[in-house]
Structure 1
């Protein structure tokens, strides 16, 4: 094709900037040389939560860039319910708005464009999450908050909202993010990855009226002014901006009649590497290389470039480096001086981080469009380190016409990011477009919106645009509105023959030639439209007939309508979003440090990180039979020692109905209130709950299957198997059965055991039973109507009376403020607490023996390997390191490294093992199942033969699998329990008699706190804790269980991608903490937790105690008054109790009020993810099972009420099984 213009055209722009709600206002501010920085008062800063110390500091700068109405959003337009909108980061909100505006500015409706459109974008971290939503975590909406605020979803959300099917790429390069996004879009178009691409970024700083602390030598300006290239340039001010541009191959844009703002002729991206003084410092060489590369790709000579939009941060270091880099490149091609203007948008709006680069690009495109160069303000005297007189550049300080002596106007745009990613673009003015006259006398202007208010605004905006542009081509305007706008329900069409006539009609809103109404689905519309299309489309009567059909919803083929014309698209006013306030209030920032456990300063004192669970004598509770729950039926899982029988007898004396269940091979009803079940059968537990609670109110549940006597066992592993089946497994199945049967009555579950805890002089401690502690801690987190309590007892002799013990157990079940963990010993009551403790051990691996042999299970994992490397630094040790999966033998290590790439995980482990060997240590590495006696026996025997006796054990093996109890598979749970529980039992069986110096068990803080989704992991670690206490009573070997909190660089949380805002333990800190614990030998169990561990524990225990209560957002309904969206259905209030109950649930969950009986869940802003949550609530409320498909098919209040049936007093206590 001859005459093809190479490059990528920019055909649409949109943005939000300090002091400017759109690009038109932005240009007005730029050309008039306005500084758009806001200075605010101490009172305003105080209202934003800034602390008094900062406010009163003389170095605090009260300046920032403000985006107006940032809390407003048109949630209805984007089909988001109020709660979703409130949880959405304003960066994502404004990016969505700008994307839509950019498409409309270019004259495109994404619904009618059948070719791939890409999205390339990035944003700042979410300050909205940090200051407004952080305190919601762990309450509800966690997933919605994460997706709505993580910068990983900026581009992909836009692709989803607008059905864009090209590449969708989230980009992060710090300050150059949005320009890198444009560069990636540019490359994507050149490589035909898409046919159009949205590109840009969003950078919003919150709170908006918060300033910053000036520090000499840092990037912040001392007075809030940014002075690029000036002698008084000492920094910038960080602000906010959002910008988006639409790109298209220039030949395609010309062919399609697109309006072109400018053409990117060449663009390049690079990184400085390490050729600079520091990571955040700029590099002259790096900047010069990227500028030269872009100019080379563009094929332009330096003398052809007459304006540079510089990165221009206004720092004494960065500005001279940038000008020097530019000069270096230009002087390779010319020796002319002072011919190229230079400026920076940061002088007007400050530094918008992820929105900075696109702001500079949009400024340059607007300058090319208007053929003017706006002033770079705040410049008086040049930086003495910049020799402008002997350079090609001058700082432009006033609005000037962009003169080029007949050559095309060409500019360069730079953006450089912290970390060294540099971007430069060469942009040329748009090629001239040729207008074509229209053969039609009359033209039909069509406008449509989602609401009548929006439609009225649309008419006013278009009339104003026509008034400001009286020479506009009316035919092109009509064409743009026909093919470049999505068609909505509320419509208005005018038939006119002039711009002035159009203005009058748009202002009038009604009259001859004006058609208004709501589109309806008409089966005859297509035929009617076709009959009109064959006639003279320039006749007024024909256009008016077509307008009527379009008003009623007839689909018009606008491309066929215009097929004989050569029309151009024009930038016209875009959709007038009808914004409302969706804004979570900022919470008390003093709470942030406590709740998130962020360090208050860099020098954390590790001595404050040690905690130990302790048993304390507490007041014995009085027993009062009148306080027992006598309304519900008590379910008792009966032990073999007769304790449950005595409890049952006492309850019957109080007139309480009981049901007992014993272990057997299968389900059987053996009496009127006696059952047997197989403890390993999930189905038996479900059948039991269904039958017992079918028509009766549930009372407390007592689970006594962990109450045992002196029944012999062959090994502790055999005992664990029994405890796993009748303790952990049974409780798991019990919780699943209660959930499956949709029992939402408040239930108190007491798990009674013997011999878990070594508190005083117990005769028979069986720590294997501690696997029931996990369910006790986690069940209340996942089933908020169930409160769990662990009661460990010491049975009196068989001949001794047990009345006192029975009374003490029942007293625990009547306590108004019950303890979650209680031990009853004789006449004494003990409760568990956690205290901050001091451990003064030595550091630097003082516990490691030179020449010693140490077994580290999980030693080839992240934490285990870190421990091995730490030990090797202080002594020539012999290490036995394991992992579960296969590991290459020593002779294959080098071969493995040679045949695998550097990203291979095993290669990385081998490299670290070789480092250990280089330190003079010996290593035996093996893939082995630590829970297998056979496999571990072979390993231990081999290791002893090679290295000698084992001096110490660190048991760090373990796996975790996230999964809610209701979906938990017992077989997978067993795989989580095995490496920790069976693992240490096997090791102890093999080497325990050798009396090693120490055994360190790597447990988790989750065994103390509990953690939803990890019932099996919590149980496994609870066993380790109990085992450490037990082992110290029978052996001289020091055994300690360390409840580690989350590690930040290695460990399970990193491997599984778990996210947490809490302070994490670094490897270096972990090693120092481990040194202290092992060398001090002070405690049998130590929790290592940064931050306020006691505060976290208090919050979690408060949550457990509140189980069964409704957890609702405060004042949701009050906040949602009168926010009912405009729907296609009339509001009809609910009448029946069922309708009212469903409507109340929807109002609460969707944040919409009021909800009528014919309102559709999905029209109100619901979606499939929220539907699953709603089904769970409805199941509990109505005691019926509803599947997702049924909900989709019957999604109004009335439809659901019809199939759910009556809801009232007659339903209380009933359970009905069924599928809808």
Structure 2
């Protein structure tokens, strides 16, 4: 008698962060998606050095760029100005994204020092190194600053993590391919926590020029995936970081669970589709194999976040989705699980451009947001579908309007698809987080609570207080007890500190306003003014005082039962300043200053 196939262990997304054109976090990104905004504009002069002209009669190159690609809070991470100037901006962006992902998960970084946390990063292009070569400038700091291996290794070093740490390069599918070793390693027990990340920054014209000349980039900047205006892809900048953990462990530890990864599959076209194209049958096989390996019917997927670049690959991808669904519906009892009885297709690239090596991971972030908000946003700018696109009689539709998709008794699932220019394919299936089950009932707290806040300096502390005030005024303000628990146990203790004492959100809002304005307040305790601590129960008064003195304290001892963590508290407001080796950095050293082999 054959045993039932074992369902692979689900993997929880317990923390996430992102940064794109027009958005510094997931909430802002969602507003862009919901508002159908396209963050695509002409590339400013000098933004991409050595950029050649594109095809004949093409207009100015357009892209979705970050407002401040050169910006980095070097002091926050203890990085010298010289090192920051010669450090690839991909490393800078990922340092900040990793910090924000930890905050989103409610994990204080010091808790993980020396832990076997795995780091998997999509390998970016070497634009910054090419820019140095073109300028004929070199510095010893460029040795670790520009090697691709330091994209993940810099993160492991900064946070003192000892798990596997390496980059994955499968071109534009890298951002999804990096999920595969993370999920496999977690299921195999090789490590208990994985950070998966990708970033894409454009700072040299070599690749852009070659892609533009080859016709891969849109000459108009108005290209819309799956539309009649499809004429090439539009480049985008930004990145994302996900923290992954086995679902059972996340539930045991009380971690926030944003969504669950049921399966990840990777493959290649082989010779089909050509060296730079994509093949529909190969993608169809991958879709079906990924669902089968995940132990879920492919017909249970109600939405596909497509690669959808606005190139000829759109037709192959749409055909693959259609053929895979037709095959899945041949199974007895199978039915389409998407809203309105259809399988919907969308693409975030219509909003923020194609982030290339980071595109797949941004697709996962969008999938999490779709599940969270119960809405499939439309493909921004889509007014007329590509006339060559046909779904036949299959129940497949483009997201040409907002489609509500509320959570009910049926688990919602999303397929995230990606393929690289060299033929590498990747696909992931993301589903709803389990309904939260109440842990041991939280005790009733009748007295005021301590809410510790800290920053690298007074400016950072004030900016953090301002952000938290905005969160309290939002449509779903946090519960005070969970907020206090998260700030006590899930945030780093930085140099500039204060403790806010509040019995409700109204009192907390008043105290935050005072901190934001740099003013004293009866409910704000600082190193010099500690009267507010007298409002706390005596044991917590001592703990809060020790914390203000810079000591390591155990806040958890004051809580009979842990509280749910607040995953959506604002991240630390980095104070970025420009660090660009050929504009703001120090004079380059000579080549003899490069460390000898074996000293790294």
TM-score higher than 0.5: yes
Structure 1 residue 353, shift from structure 2 partner: 0.9
**Cα offsets for 1:79-105 (capped at 9, x unmatched):** 111110100111110011101111111
Structure 1 residue 217, shift from structure 2 partner: 7.6
- Counterpart in 2 of 1:465? 471
Counterpart selection for 2:290 from 294, 297, 317: 294
Counterpart selection for 1:332 from 327, 332, 347: 327
8 A contact 1:270–1:421 mirrored in 2: yes
- Counterpart in 1 of 2:523? 513
Structure 1 residue 438, shift from structure 2 partner: 3.6
8 A contact 1:36–1:349 mirrored in 2: yes
State how far apart, in whole Å, the 1-side matches of 2:55 and 2:11 are. 51
Residue 487 (1) aligns with residue 486 (2): no
8 A contact 2:63–2:235 mirrored in 1: yes
- Counterpart in 2 of 1:1183? none
State how far apart, in whole Å, the 2-side matches of 1:165 and 1:347 are. 38
Counterpart selection for 1:285 from 281, 285, 303: 281
The DSSP-based 3-state class of the residue aligned with 2:544 is helix
Are the structure 2 counterparts of residues 448 and 404 from structure 1 closer, same or farther at C-alpha, using a change threshold of 3 Å? closer
State how far apart, in whole Å, the 2-side matches of 1:64 and 1:188 are. 36
1:329-728 correspondence to structure 2 within 5 Å: 329-334=324-329, 339-403=342-406, 406-434=409-437, 436-441=441-446, 442-469=448-475, 471-509=477-515, 510-517=520-527, 540-585=537-582
Are the structure 2 counterparts of residues 391 and 117 from structure 1 closer, same or farther at C-alpha, using a change threshold of 3 Å? same
Counterpart selection for 1:304 from 290, 293, 300: 300
State how far apart, in whole Å, the 2-side matches of 1:482 and 1:195 are. 23
**Cα offsets for 1:1168-1206 (capped at 9, x unmatched):** x99989xxxxxxxxxxxxxx9xxxxxxxxxxxxxxxxxx
Counterpart selection for 1:224 from 221, 224, 237: 221
The DSSP-based 3-state class of the residue aligned with 2:197 is strand
1:40-119 correspondence to structure 2 within 5 Å: 40=43, 44-45=44-45, 49=49, 54=53, 57-113=56-112, 115-119=115-119
1:16-55 correspondence to structure 2 within 5 Å: 16-40=19-43, 44-45=44-45, 49=49, 54=53
Relative to its length, the structure with more helix (as a share) is 1
- Counterpart in 1 of 2:151? 154
State how far apart, in whole Å, the 2-side matches of 1:167 and 1:557 are. 30
Counterpart selection for 1:236 from 207, 230, 233: 233
1:156-171 correspondence to structure 2 within 5 Å: 156-171=153-168
State how far apart, in whole Å, the 2-side matches of 1:184 and 1:515 are. 46
The DSSP-based 3-state class of the residue aligned with 1:233 is coil
The DSSP-based 3-state class of the residue aligned with 1:394 is strand
The DSSP-based 3-state class of the residue aligned with 2:451 is strand
Structure 1: gaps spanning 5 or more residues = 520-531, 588-1111, 1117-1147, 1150-1168, 1174-1187, 1189-1220
8 A contact 2:15–2:567 mirrored in 1: no
8 A contact 1:476–1:570 mirrored in 2: no
After TM superposition, the score normalised by the length of structure 2 is: 0.88
1:198-277 correspondence to structure 2 within 5 Å: 198-207=195-204, 218-274=215-271, 276-277=272-273
Structure 1 residue 549, shift from structure 2 partner: 2.0
State how far apart, in whole Å, the 1-side matches of 2:318 and 2:54 are. 36
Number of equivalences: 571
The DSSP-based 3-state class of the residue aligned with 1:66 is coil
Are the structure 2 counterparts of residues 497 and 353 from structure 1 closer, same or farther at C-alpha, using a change threshold of 3 Å? same
8 A contact 1:179–1:200 mirrored in 2: no
State how far apart, in whole Å, the 2-side matches of 1:21 and 1:547 are. 32
**Cα offsets for 1:81-138 (capped at 9, x unmatched):** 111010011111001110111111111123213642111002322212222465354x
Structure 1 residue 299, shift from structure 2 partner: 2.0
8 A contact 2:416–2:427 mirrored in 1: yes
- Counterpart in 2 of 1:775? none
Are the structure 2 counterparts of residues 59 and 586 from structure 1 closer, same or farther at C-alpha, using a change threshold of 3 Å? farther
**Cα offsets for 1:663-692 (capped at 9, x unmatched):** xxxxxxxxxxxxxxxxxxxxxxxxxxxxxx
8 A contact 1:440–1:538 mirrored in 2: no
State how far apart, in whole Å, the 2-side matches of 1:70 and 1:191 are. 38
Structure 1 residue 396, shift from structure 2 partner: 0.9
Are the structure 2 counterparts of residues 39 and 107 from structure 1 closer, same or farther at C-alpha, using a change threshold of 3 Å? same
Are the structure 2 counterparts of residues 313 and 421 from structure 1 closer, same or farther at C-alpha, using a change threshold of 3 Å? same
State how far apart, in whole Å, the 2-side matches of 1:219 and 1:556 are. 56
State how far apart, in whole Å, the 1-side matches of 2:290 and 2:49 are. 45
Structure 1 residue 198, shift from structure 2 partner: 0.7
Are the structure 2 counterparts of residues 349 and 565 from structure 1 closer, same or farther at C-alpha, using a change threshold of 3 Å? closer
State how far apart, in whole Å, the 2-side matches of 1:582 and 1:445 are. 34
The DSSP-based 3-state class of the residue aligned with 1:375 is coil
8 A contact 1:445–1:495 mirrored in 2: yes
Structure 1 residue 211, shift from structure 2 partner: 7.0
The DSSP-based 3-state class of the residue aligned with 2:380 is coil
The answer to which of 541-550 and 288-297 deviates more is 541-550
State how far apart, in whole Å, the 1-side matches of 2:206 and 2:527 are. 44
Counterpart selection for 1:15 from 18, 35, 52: 18
8 A contact 1:122–1:151 mirrored in 2: no
Structure 1 residue 179, shift from structure 2 partner: 0.7
8 A contact 2:468–2:570 mirrored in 1: yes
**Cα offsets for 1:1094-1151 (capped at 9, x unmatched):** xxxxxxxxxxxxxxxxxx965x9xxxxxxxxxxxxxxxxxxxxxxxxxxxxxxx99xx
**Cα offsets for 1:352-401 (capped at 9, x unmatched):** 11111111111111111111111112323333333224223111122232
State how far apart, in whole Å, the 2-side matches of 1:369 and 1:178 are. 21
1:952-1031 correspondence to structure 2 within 5 Å: none
**Cα offsets for 1:711-732 (capped at 9, x unmatched):** xxxxxxxxxxxxxxxxxxxxxx
The DSSP-based 3-state class of the residue aligned with 2:153 is helix
The answer to which of 538-547 and 244-253 deviates more is 538-547
State how far apart, in whole Å, the 2-side matches of 1:406 and 1:322 are. 30
Structure number, greater radius of gyration: 1
Are the structure 2 counterparts of residues 195 and 49 from structure 1 closer, same or farther at C-alpha, using a change threshold of 3 Å? closer
Are the structure 2 counterparts of residues 571 and 281 from structure 1 closer, same or farther at C-alpha, using a change threshold of 3 Å? same
- Counterpart in 2 of 1:319? 314
The answer to which of 202-211 and 555-564 deviates more is 202-211
Structure 1 residue 50, shift from structure 2 partner: 5.1
Structure 1 residue 570, shift from structure 2 partner: 2.9
8 A contact 1:225–1:347 mirrored in 2: no
State how far apart, in whole Å, the 2-side matches of 1:47 and 1:411 are. 36
8 A contact 2:55–2:215 mirrored in 1: no
Residue 127 (1) aligns with residue 127 (2): yes
Residue 172 (1) aligns with residue 177 (2): no
State how far apart, in whole Å, the 2-side matches of 1:580 and 1:292 are. 47
- Counterpart in 2 of 1:141? 139
Q: What is the CA RMSD across the aligned residues, in angstroms? A: 3.2
- Counterpart in 1 of 2:4? none
The answer to which of 441-450 and 409-418 deviates more is 441-450
Structure 1 residue 456, shift from structure 2 partner: 1.5
The DSSP-based 3-state class of the residue aligned with 1:111 is helix
State how far apart, in whole Å, the 2-side matches of 1:503 and 1:418 are. 50
State how far apart, in whole Å, the 1-side matches of 2:207 and 2:545 are. 54
**Cα offsets for 1:898-947 (capped at 9, x unmatched):** xxxxxxxxxxxxxxxxxxxxxxxxxxxxxxxxxxxxxxxxxxxxxxxxxx
State how far apart, in whole Å, the 1-side matches of 2:212 and 2:122 are. 28
The DSSP-based 3-state class of the residue aligned with 2:426 is strand
State how far apart, in whole Å, the 1-side matches of 2:293 and 2:595 are. 52
State how far apart, in whole Å, the 1-side matches of 2:211 and 2:136 are. 32
